[in-house]
Amino acid sequence: MIRLRQVTKRYGTARADEQALVGIDLDIVAGEHVALLGPSGSGKTTLLNLIGGLDRAYEGTVSVNAIDLAPLSDGALARMRSSTVGFVFQHYGLLDHLSVVDNVMLPGAFCDDVARTRAESTTRAMQLLERVGIAHKAAALPPKLSGGQRQRVAVARALFNHPKLLLCDEPTGSLDTNTGASVIRLLEALNAEGVTLVTVTHDARVASSARRIVRLEDGRVVEDAVRRP
């Protein structure tokens, strides 16, 4: 599913001390749940952004679904993100002026692969909201929701276009223990359905739910371990 070879990411100048990632080699197969761990500044989020095609300035090779992302045009990369990848951010990334259901339907605006009518989009969004347990808040604006509810909306939005890969950046970072636990259960359930999960986290509970732990330090992979079930 994901293949990284000798991936190096530099910020600013070419000096070695400003390298965010250094010679990363990583393979993630479909259906895996990988937790990316490491201290702040170790390059976890940078790695996630490279996999999601949000960051194009790197050396080496990043392939998703056997497609090398580097030569893709901006449009082709956007289509890949839209059809294959779902993002969940620590701070939710919801558009405050759109209702919950409109936020969930947003990825459909950029996906040309699936032609949906407005009614079909609404039905799909409501099904997803039902699944994450906040269908009753469909008409609400995000600022009226709690952190946990917002993150559930963000997960529902990430699932709108049936992505095969879910990239989560600190999905429980802004949530309390109980709310975080419910989000972790939701992600586990999605992984059980075959969605590949790559989660950047500091949360030990999230890490413990992942089958594979990849630990980064100073932009290098220092541990890549698969937990026994």
Q: Which parts of this chain interact with other proteins (CB under 8 A)?
A: 45-46, 49, 52, 54-55, 74-75, 77-79, 81-83, 87, 89, 93, 95, 97-98, 102, 106-112, 118, 157, 161, 169
Q: Which is nearer to other proteins, 97 or 227 (CB)?
A: 97
Q: Which two tokens stand for residue 29?
A: 């197969």
Q: Which is nearer to other proteins, 109 or 192 (CB)?
A: 109
How many other C-beta atoms can be found within 10 angstroms of the C-beta atom of residue 79?
17
Non-local (6+) Cβ contacts of 171 within 8 A are: 88, 90, 151, 155, 183, 184, 187, 199, 201, 206
Q: Which is nearer to other proteins, 33 or 81 (CB)?
A: 81
Closest CB 227 distance from other proteins, rounded Å:
29
Task: Give the length of the chain.
Answer: 229
β-strand partners of 217: 220
Q: List the alpha helices (DSSP H) in the chain.
A: 44-51, 74-84, 100-109, 118-132, 147-158, 177-192, 204-209
DSSP-derived secondary structure letter, 138: T
Q: Which is nearer to other proteins, 218 or 224 (CB)?
A: 218
Closest CB 34 distance from other proteins, rounded Å:
19
Closest CB 179 distance from other proteins, rounded Å:
21
Q: Which is nearer to other proteins, 108 or 171 (CB)?
A: 108
Closest CB 111 distance from other proteins, rounded Å:
6
- 8 Å CB contact between 55 and 46: yes
Closest CB 74 distance from other proteins, rounded Å:
5
Q: Which is nearer to other proteins, 20 or 209 (CB)?
A: 20
β-strand partners of 214: 36, 224
β-strand partners of 167: 87, 198
Q: Which is nearer to other proteins, 108 or 148 (CB)?
A: 108
Q: Give the three-state DSSP class for 131.
A: helix
Closest CB 225 distance from other proteins, rounded Å:
27
Q: How far is the C-alpha of 130 from the C-alpha of 65, rounded, in Å?
A: 30
Closest CB 117 distance from other proteins, rounded Å:
10
Measured between alpha carbons, how far is residue 213 from residues 27, 29, 113, 180, 194 in Å? 12, 14, 33, 19, 18
